[in-house]
Structure 1
């Protein structure tokens, strides 16, 4: 269906949101009120969608997301099934210490364990919940000890810009393989907190200078919207030569091609759980009709 309508013949990564439910309600979460929704992928749905994307679109990897994916009751089975299909398996989690046993249980099935960290303790906890930074660092250390390649993601806000470099240094010391920086989108919970937005984008130039001068050896990957240079018109058609780097599936089945469109309910495609196939449901304001560009990631300079 993706190939017939928009010419997508290959997809590298599926971001699979297993459920909306989460043990946090972060101030910048793009899900917003959906955190209370009961929707989720049943295990049979997970298996069907992974099979479809691997067989039809030569899928290479899956990242399990939520909500909080470690709350998903079948997370172990989902990870094992993905590995059996020959996929690279990643998970992105808030890494609460209460998930210690689940992390241990899925370790052998993971190619990457990615933790959401939004600054050092004070700023991270202000966005998420008290004690969550210390808890996440404990689980980072656990994952490293278990031999899992470990990464971190950080949503850059006007409140935590100054924490990027010291956080990167701390994570590098603890054996983390990379830090990925995301640009804040004012959707979901973030829409009620516009103070989080970096209104003076000139601050990004200072951020890049700080990264370049920090002597980091750990890669820092960033959303090009955080670039000090003008964004330009990149990926305006979302697809290049039939190759799509990533697609995101939400718990209701919505398939979103552009990461900038996630959380905005503008998907033109949906995974039909009943018939185990992709269906096309175009709208006047869907991501293709209005040409929402995809996120482009780049590497910051490291020594």
Structure 2
């Protein structure tokens, strides 16, 4: 195939279902940009029986649901392999998002047929960039386990959270991923929740990246990765003038489940007790009151109303008061398919 890789917007589809299930909030790392907030999300590790009951609440026999198993570090859950196997029997497409340590011999307890994707997190192309963000020694452990997973036949993906600390190194990631055998590359934008909501990074005035910098760097890196045969996904972030704003909460079905039973539809809201649903006695209960889903239908010039309410410093304005950029729904993605 020839020509330049083209990014396309992956629009929300009615009936699309994605379940982001935090099995626990415990983690062996202390990443500087971690979004987990134990005060809001709880500190429990859900027992296997509870996990299976909750999975049944969101499974649909008539169509496949995408399931992302998260933490904290999900491989710290001693029964993660059993959870993966059970989820596959409920017609979930299963991804595990790991920091790379792969506790409890996960690769020996599941097969590539049982796990659709094993996703790793790195925030730099080498240890001197990654480890000050994620922890000493993390780069080596993570890359070694990626190579092991690829050799065993697992589909692997990698998440890189872009911030002011590491955007200058993003362009060095595609060659590394190609060498490791990673098939999908998720370029994520730093969110102001959890740790980044309460502290600034050392050596940078802000966690976040200016719009012009994001737009100048990220699409070009995505194209470079696609030329190496890597499937790339990254958030839309900024809408073009002619593009309509669309909220995932109004079209698709996205559920972000935490160990204390909170179920959000919008990840921007996770630092606040405004979740749409609560799991009570193994039932999914819609909550009354002024919660996140009451805001989804609102139309504002800035685009995403939750971004305007919770992260207003993200938005710059023209002298006439109109926003310089409209912010897309944080779940709206750009996709660049591999060329080879």
TM-score, with length taken from structure 2: 0.76
State whether residues 23 and 77 of structure 2, in contact with CA within 8 Å, keep that contact through their aligned partners in structure 1.
yes
Q: 2:270 aligns with which of 262, 271, 296?
A: 262
In the TM superposition, 1:59-74 aligns within 5 A as 59-74=64-79
Distance 2:207 2:39 in 1: 21
Aligned residue number for residue 252 of structure 1:
260
Q: Which moved more, 1:189-198 or 1:54-63?
A: 54-63
Distance 2:215 2:121 in 1: 24
- Per-residue CA shift, 1:212-257, capped at 9, x if unaligned? 35633212210111x58569653236222xx42x321111111111
In the TM superposition, 1:83-98 aligns within 5 A as 83-96=88-101
Distance 1:230 1:170 in 2: 35
Matched, 1:297 2:333: yes
State whether residues 18 and 66 of structure 2, in contact with CA within 8 Å, keep that contact through their aligned partners in structure 1.
yes
Aligned residue number for residue 271 of structure 1:
279
Q: CA deviation at 1:20?
A: 0.6
1:128 and 1:288, CA in 2 relative to 1: closer, same or farther beyond 3 A? Answer: same
1:41 and 1:59, CA in 2 relative to 1: closer, same or farther beyond 3 A? Answer: farther
Query: When the two structures are aligned, how many residues end up with a matched partner?
Result: 288
- Point out where structure 2 has 5 or more consecutive residues left out of the alignment: 1-12, 297-305, 307-328
Q: 2:59 aligns with which of 54, 58, 61?
A: 54
Q: 1:235 aligns with which of 232, 241, 246?
A: 246
Q: 1:212 aligns with which of 217, 223, 227?
A: 223
SS in 2 for 1:154: strand
Q: CA deviation at 1:41?
A: 2.1
1:116 and 1:213, CA in 2 relative to 1: closer, same or farther beyond 3 A? Answer: closer
- Per-residue CA shift, 1:137-160, capped at 9, x if unaligned? 011011101101000111110111
1:162 and 1:100, CA in 2 relative to 1: closer, same or farther beyond 3 A? Answer: farther
State whether residues 263 and 275 of structure 2, in contact with CA within 8 Å, keep that contact through their aligned partners in structure 1.
yes
State whether residues 100 and 139 of structure 1, in contact with CA within 8 Å, keep that contact through their aligned partners in structure 2.
no
Q: CA RMSD in A?
A: 2.7
Q: 1:104 aligns with which of 108, 113, 116?
A: 108
State whether residues 238 and 294 of structure 1, in contact with CA within 8 Å, keep that contact through their aligned partners in structure 2.
no
Distance 1:100 1:230 in 2: 49
Q: CA deviation at 1:258?
A: 1.8
Matched, 1:132 2:128: no
Aligned residue number for residue 7 of structure 2:
none
1:228 and 1:85, CA in 2 relative to 1: closer, same or farther beyond 3 A? Answer: closer
1:119 and 1:230, CA in 2 relative to 1: closer, same or farther beyond 3 A? Answer: farther
In the TM superposition, 1:32-47 aligns within 5 A as 32-34=37-39, 37-47=42-52
Aligned residue number for residue 300 of structure 2:
none
Distance 2:248 2:68 in 1: 24
Aligned residue number for residue 23 of structure 2:
18
State whether residues 256 and 269 of structure 1, in contact with CA within 8 Å, keep that contact through their aligned partners in structure 2.
yes
Q: Which moved more, 1:81-90 or 1:290-299?
A: 290-299
SS in 1 for 2:130: helix
- Per-residue CA shift, 1:187-227, capped at 9, x if unaligned? 111121264523421101221234435633212210111x5
Query: Runs of 4+ in structure 1 displaced over 6 angstroms?
Result: none
Q: CA deviation at 1:136?
A: 0.4
Aligned residue number for residue 4 of structure 1:
none
- Per-residue CA shift, 1:68-105, capped at 9, x if unaligned? 000112111111111222321110000126x2722321
TM-score, with length taken from structure 1: 0.85
State whether residues 248 and 256 of structure 1, in contact with CA within 8 Å, keep that contact through their aligned partners in structure 2.
yes
- Point out where structure 1 has 5 or more consecutive residues left out of the alignment: 1-7
Aligned residue number for residue 27 of structure 1:
32
Q: CA deviation at 1:269?
A: 0.7
State whether residues 40 and 272 of structure 2, in contact with CA within 8 Å, keep that contact through their aligned partners in structure 1.
no
